């Protein structure tokens, strides 16, 4: 089931857009409805997801610059920019704000009127973003990546590849609540399997190298939680993990493309396609509070054989047979 990683051509990302009053207000001739896209990282990292989002919008009749405008803004891994960008979208009076979990609290703080679609989020209920998954209420809906046993499944997969590992390092951006919750789930799963745990707390990019140095050969594998900061630094993390001879488990395939060993998690492109469908519903008049927050139904297993060989590991054939994608 091996297949080389494929990339689609990058769609031109536009900044700047005109505004269209929210559904129910007076419409001004000549202006397009507008989606404000608040990217927590940068275009190069989010390229495949943006492509999926725009293509699905097109399928639904929303053609960029013809029937809809998209105002792209990029925080480039700087959380302090979330509030600034959200405020700009409020000034532009966009119809919908599309973003991901890290920026959601600032977007919610900026507006209680403009609908917000979360293409990705951790625990929107626990974060106080929605009242419940089934009935969000308010102006926010979207997709949650929550899956109760995901951390345990990742560790079981890692143990299939490295049966002898007993000491696990868990890397987490402690400034991002969803990542902290994910790290706790990984810690609980690791404890139930009898692993020793070292937690690498990251607050900024400059903490990554010292975190690896602090391990001093006291780990057999690395579990990386997902957030904008660690995603933006995934190549550095994987390079350091390879240098430390640490097999790494990630939540998303993009980190495996950047040299990680394995990932097990929802397909992000499919989630962004679904986010486009939710935005379409809102643009056509459905209230965001009436749209249930959805959870992933399918998780992808991705394995990087190049990294496995560099680590001197042999991936068991039964695991390869179950993989959705093998990078070689």
* Paired tokens of 205: 């990019």
Asked if the model's pLDDT at residue 318 lies above 70, the reply is: yes
Within a domain: 39: yes
Our CA angle for 278, 283, 285, nearest 5°, is 100
- Domain assignment present for residue 4? The answer is no
- Phi, psi (degrees; rounded to nearest 5) at 4: -75, 145
Interval 207-259: pLDDT, tens: 999 999 999 889 999 999 988 889 889 999 999 999 999 999 999 888 999 99
Distances from the Cα of 156 to the Cα of 48, 186, 299, angstroms = 29, 11, 15
Cβ burial, residue 206 (10 Å; 0-12/13-18/19+): exposed
CA distances for 217 relative to 211, 221, 246, 271, angstroms = 12, 10, 9, 37
Please check whether residues 197 and 216 belong to one and the same domain: yes
User: Model confidence over 246-297: pLDDT tens digits?
Assistant: 999 999 888 999 999 999 998 888 999 999 999 999 999 999 999 999 988 7
29 C-beta neighbours (distance < 10 Å), count: 4
- Please tell me the distance from the alpha carbon of residue 242 to that of residue 238, in angstroms, as a whole number: 6
Which helix H or strand E contains 187, and what residues bound it? helix 177-192
Whether residue 6 lies inside any domain: the answer is no
Cα 146 to chain centroid distance, Å, stands at: 12
Q: What is the pLDDT of residue 26?
A: 33
pLDDT band at 30 (very low <50, low <70, confident <90, very high): low
- Please report the pLDDT score of residue 267 as a whole number: 87
Q: Are 164 and 309 in the same domain?
A: yes
177, 309: one domain? yes
Query: Within this chain, do residues 134 and 210 fall inside the same structural domain, yes or no?
Result: no
CA distance 244 to 254: 21
Distance of alpha carbon 323 from alpha carbon 80, whole angstroms: 38
Same domain, 195 and 312: yes
**321 and 254 in one domain?**
yes
pLDDT at residue 108 is higher than 80: yes
Of the chain, the percentage scoring pLDDT greater than 70 comes to 91
pLDDT at residue 31, rounded to an integer: 85
CA-closest candidate to residue 160, choices 306, 312, 311, 262: 262
Query: What is the token pair recorded at 69?
Result: 């405008």
In a domain, 101, yes or no: yes
- What's the total number of domains in the chain? 2
Given a cut of 70, whether residue 145 has pLDDT beyond it is yes
Residue 308 has pLDDT above 70, yes or no: yes
pTM assigned to the model: 0.77
The reported pLDDT for the residue numbered 227 is 86
Mean pLDDT of the chain: 88
Residues 103 and 169 in one domain: no
Q: Compute the average pLDDT of residues 303-317.
A: 97
Q: Which is higher by pLDDT, 8 or 321?
A: 321
How large a percentage of the chain has pLDDT more than 90?
72
Evaluate whether residue 221 is within a structural domain: yes
- Domain shared by 114 and 201, yes or no: no
The predicted structure's pLDDT at residue 3: 43
Q: Tell me, what's the pLDDT at 296?
A: 84
Average pLDDT on 300-326 reads 96
* Same domain assignment for residues 108 and 238: no
| Strands 262-266, 299-304: pairing kind | antiparallel
Range of the domain at 194: 150-266+300-327
In the chain, the N- to C-terminal Cα span, in Å, equals 11
244 and 254 share a domain?
Answer: yes
Mean pLDDT of 298-320: 95
Edge-to-edge strand list for the sheet holding 96-100? 69-74, 34-39, 96-100, 116-120, 140-142
**Which H or E element spans position 305?**
helix 305-310
CATH code, 74? 3.40.50.2300
Checking if the pLDDT of 197 tops 60, the result is: yes
Whether residue 218 is found in the same domain as residue 254: yes
- Of 7-21, 78-92, 268-282, least confident by mean pLDDT is 7-21
Same domain, 171 and 306: yes
Adjacent-strand bridge partners of 170: 199, 223
């Amino acid at each position: 089931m091996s297949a080389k990683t494929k990339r689609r051509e990058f769609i031109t990302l536009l900044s700047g857009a005109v505004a269209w009053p929210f559904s129910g207000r007076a419409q001004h001739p000549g202006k397009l409805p507008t989606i404000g896209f608040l990217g927590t990282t940068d275009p190069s990292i989010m390229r495949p997801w943006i492509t999926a989002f725009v293509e699905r919008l097109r399928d639904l009749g929303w053609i960029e610059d013809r029937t809809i405008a998209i105002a792209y803004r990029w925080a480039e891994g700087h959380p302090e920019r979330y509030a600034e960008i959200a405020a700009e979208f409020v000034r532009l009076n966009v119809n919908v704000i599309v973003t991901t979990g890290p920026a959601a609290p600032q977007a919610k703080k900026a507006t209680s009127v403009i609908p917000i679609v979360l293409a990705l989020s951790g625990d929107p209920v626990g974060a106080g973003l929605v009242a419940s998954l089934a009935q969000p209420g308010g102006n926010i809906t979207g997709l949650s990546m929550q899956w109760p046993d995901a951390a345990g499944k990742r560790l079981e997969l890692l143990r299939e590849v490295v049966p002898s590992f007993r000491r696990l390092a868990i890397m987490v951006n402690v400034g991002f609540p969803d990542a902290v919750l994910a790290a706790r789930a990984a810690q609980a799963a690791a404890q139930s399997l009898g692993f020793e745990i070292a937690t690498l707390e990251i607050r900024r990019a400059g903490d990554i190298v010292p975190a690896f140095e602090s391990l001093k050969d006291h780990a057999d594998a690395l579990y990386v939680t997902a957030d904008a900061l660690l995603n933006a630094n995934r190549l550095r993390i994987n390079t350091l993990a390879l240098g430390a001879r640490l097999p790494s488990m990630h939540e998303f395939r993009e980190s495996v493309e950047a040299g990680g060993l394995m990932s097990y998690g929802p397909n992000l492109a499919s989630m962004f396609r679904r986010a486009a469908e939710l935005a379409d519903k809102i643009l056509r008049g459905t209230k965001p509070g009436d749209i249930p927050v959805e959870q992933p139904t399918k998780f992808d297993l991705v394995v990087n054989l190049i990294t496995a060989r560099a680590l001197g590991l042999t991936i068991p054939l039964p695991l390869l047979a179950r993989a959705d994608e093998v990078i070689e």
